[in-house]
Structure 1
Amino acid sequence: MNRYLIVLDLDGTLLTSEKNIDPRTKEVIQKVMEAGHIVMIATGRPFRASKAYYEELHLNTPIVNFNGAYIHHPHQPEWGTIHSPLELETLKGILETCDHYELTNIFIEVKDHVYINNPDPLVADLFEIGNPTITYGPIQEKLKEAPTSVLLQTNEQQTKAVLHALDTEYSEAIEQRSWGKPSNIIEVIKRGVNKAVGIKKVAQDYNIPPERIIAFGDEDNDKEMISYAGQGVAMGNAIAELKALADAVTESNDDTGIANYLERTFLL
């Protein structure tokens, strides 16, 4: 049997709008694994915020977190850890550039240590999942380590200007993506880091070629893995750019799109 590697994004893809896994989707994924195929998660979330879903699916595979900046196998430490943080000097330059703009907040994660520039109870809950260490206060003074992920919260009017400034000054050092309303976030990670990098490493370990990789996603941070996978599948709720890039479009995350596609593909 030719095994497939099935890659699942979390938010907007595997998870419904209620942030849970639909029972039917879970059942189909279990059938696919019982048939011998490999299932893994690739998400922008840190592991602490994706661990519960990993365990709910009874996975025993490596996981891609922070959009590829952190990759490890939760059950096999000997598999190794791939951590690709942004250089600290690059971050300092970015923060100096951002001083010219009115940022609402700055959130930085170094694995499970979270730095928040301005205390904000509305967003603190999002970072408290998994009980990380949280440090509040001026990040330029507090941060002494290379960051895994950088989130810049802008006001809507200045998002494009900040993106342009960072692209002009740091395009060779960083990857950046923006999320729109309501948060208006610019995410910055090290250049060359994306979900596809981690998926390629896992696929090689399982001796699975790209043509036998099925990847599901919905957002800008899924573009590289959708392009890399032999079957890149966009959810029905995905952004238009991802649908145009994908090999197929399935139903939305609230309409069991993953389960439907896997049933059609593997004739379950």
Structure 2
Amino acid sequence: MERKLIAIDLDGTTLNADAQISAKTKAVLTQAREAGHIVSIVTGRPNRISSNFYDELHLDGPMINFNGSLGHIPHQHWQGEYQYTFNKEVAFDLLAHRDELGINMIAAEGKNLFLAVRQHPVEVGFFPTVLKSNEILNHKTLQENPTSLTVAVDRSHQEHLLSYLQHHFNDIIDAAPWGGPNSVVELGVKGVQKATGVEALAHHYHIQRQNIIAFGDEHNDSAMIDYAGWGVAMQNATAPIKRLANDVTELDNNHDGLAHYLQNYLQLAE
């Protein structure tokens, strides 16, 4: 079998509901690599909360973070590293209008950037509940252009925020609401998606598109699943992702759906 590039989303795909990689998943991904295939994490998560999974899987190639906006090799310098950023004025504008827009929290992030501000406590799992004084987002602290802005907004204001962003910043950013229970809108550089990162990986490894297999479950996986020669939706994926994919795993992310699928697809020994 030709060498495959296996692009894996984390949440809802490689990770179970407890945000862990099962022993079975770990074993199969290791087996796939031992058989000569490449395994790459392609996630919406920042690098600060995905490098632990990269290390747990003993990966050594590039990882894609922020839905395609950052490509890097953790713990080392890589010549192919890239990072897309947008004008920090977007963050300052949202800070100035946060009351009328119903914004509860804004986090500005990049590879080495994490700053946030919140009106009142927001329970969004990816963010520290207590901010250190040097992590407070304001005009003084935000010196560089961010890769991502994550905005927690009152559910009743979400549509208003989206139309505000569309009206004011449509030419420089894409804004996408998160799936799931939290009312969160994520801002990234216009036109940059997970497929951007997968294309960079394919180029780096000299892999043809037909030899890319991608796994995902949510809206932010759509471009990657579409781009891959073989796009696979998880059993627990949204309906649009299942329609877009070439195939759907038999089992969900809580029952090693990705691992079972890969074992069959790559004909790895049980």
| Contact in 2 for aligned 1:94/1:166 (Cα 8 Å) | no
1:72 alignment partner in structure 2: 72
2:153 alignment partner in structure 1: 154
1:235 alignment partner in structure 2: 234
Matches within 5 A, 1:1-268: 1-74=1-74, 76-96=76-96, 98=98, 100-118=100-118, 123=123, 126-128=126-128, 134-136=134-136, 139-180=138-179, 182-250=181-249, 251-268=251-268
| Contact in 1 for aligned 2:179/2:218 (Cα 8 Å) | no
Aligned length: 266
How big is each residue's C-alpha offset from its partner over 1:160-185, in whole Å with a ceiling of 9 and x where there is no partner? 12112212332221111102553200
| Contact in 2 for aligned 1:216/1:235 (Cα 8 Å) | yes
The residue type equivalent to 1:161 in the other structure is: H
Cα deviation, residue 219, structure 1:
1.1
User: Structure 1 pair 249/110, CA: closer, same or farther in 2 (3 Å)?
Assistant: same
Cα deviation, residue 93, structure 1:
4.1
How big is each residue's C-alpha offset from its partner over 1:73-121, in whole Å with a ceiling of 9 and x where there is no partner? 1255133320111112344345556553221221211333322212756
Cα deviation, residue 10, structure 1:
0.6
Cα deviation, residue 151, structure 1:
0.9
Which secondary structure does the structure 2 equivalent of 1:52 belong to?
Answer: helix
Cα deviation, residue 126, structure 1:
3.1
Please, which moves more after superposition, 73-82 or 242-251?
73-82
Which secondary structure does the structure 2 equivalent of 1:152 belong to?
Answer: strand
| TM-score calculated relative to the size of structure 2 | 0.89
Identity within the alignment, %? 38
Distance (whole Å) between structure 2 residues aligned to residue 124 and residue 248 of structure 1: 32
How big is each residue's C-alpha offset from its partner over 1:188-244, in whole Å with a ceiling of 9 and x where there is no partner? 011121111111111112111111101111111111111100111111111112111
Please, which moves more after superposition, 163-172 or 88-97?
88-97
Distance (whole Å) between structure 1 residues aligned to residue 47 and residue 133 of structure 2: 14
User: Structure 1 pair 233/133, CA: closer, same or farther in 2 (3 Å)?
Assistant: farther
How big is each residue's C-alpha offset from its partner over 1:113-154, in whole Å with a ceiling of 9 and x where there is no partner? 32221275654873349x9995225x3454222011101111
User: Structure 1 pair 114/161, CA: closer, same or farther in 2 (3 Å)?
Assistant: same
| Contact in 1 for aligned 2:113/2:146 (Cα 8 Å) | no
Q: Which stretches in structure 2 are left out of the alignment for 5+ residues?
A: none
Which secondary structure does the structure 1 equivalent of 2:175 belong to?
Answer: strand
| TM-score calculated relative to the size of structure 1 | 0.90
User: Structure 1 pair 181/264, CA: closer, same or farther in 2 (3 Å)?
Assistant: closer
Higher helix share: 1
Q: Which stretches in structure 1 are left out of the alignment for 5+ residues?
A: none
Cα deviation, residue 6, structure 1:
0.1
RMSD in angstroms over aligned alpha carbons?
2.4
| Contact in 2 for aligned 1:235/1:249 (Cα 8 Å) | yes
| Contact in 2 for aligned 1:114/1:127 (Cα 8 Å) | no
Distance (whole Å) between structure 2 residues aligned to residue 172 and residue 149 of structure 1: 16
Distance (whole Å) between structure 1 residues aligned to residue 159 and residue 180 of structure 2: 13
Distance (whole Å) between structure 2 residues aligned to residue 231 and residue 134 of structure 1: 44
Distance (whole Å) between structure 2 residues aligned to residue 94 and residue 171 of structure 1: 14
